[in-house]
Amino acid sequence: MSEALHVVCPHCDAVNRVPAEKLAAGEGGRCGRCHKPLFDGHPVALTAENFDTHVSRSDVPVLVDFWAAWCGPCQMMAPVFEEAARRLEPRVRLAKLDTDAAPQVAGRHGIRGIPTLILFRRGQEVARVSGAMDLGRLLAWVEQHL
């Protein structure tokens, strides 16, 4: 029997079990609760309410972009992060957290400047970088820390 990995649904926050070989083959599957795709090539919008579920309950590494709407570099990096989601899923879940909407989560993770990217694995911070990046640099940074 193959190993099953936990994947949190980006639509309803349900925790799903997905065979590891399905993810390795680039297939994400569908949510058992809402039946929507578990990976759709777009970053997940995180909130204070669902942050811990997505970061702690997922066996897939989660890359979180801590950002704010008023931040120019954050706006410049948004399309880069969107493209990175298309390229990295389902090996890595990409997610965004608006620091103005969830300041307590940002504070808990010591966010001092934005954009800041943190790569989590099973709830633990693996790597962190601040500042806007182009796509090549972002992909290389993620690969280096996987």
Active site residues: 71, 74
Q: Estimate the crossing angle of helix 135-145 against helix 72-88, to 10 degrees.
A: 60
What's the Cα-to-Cα distance from 111 to each of 12, 21, 77, 82, 117, rounded to whole Å?
A: 27, 35, 17, 21, 9
Residue 49: Cβ within 10 Å count: 10
Of 101, 81, 102, the residue nearest 92 (C-alpha): 81
Please, which residues bridge with residue 118 across strands?
64, 128
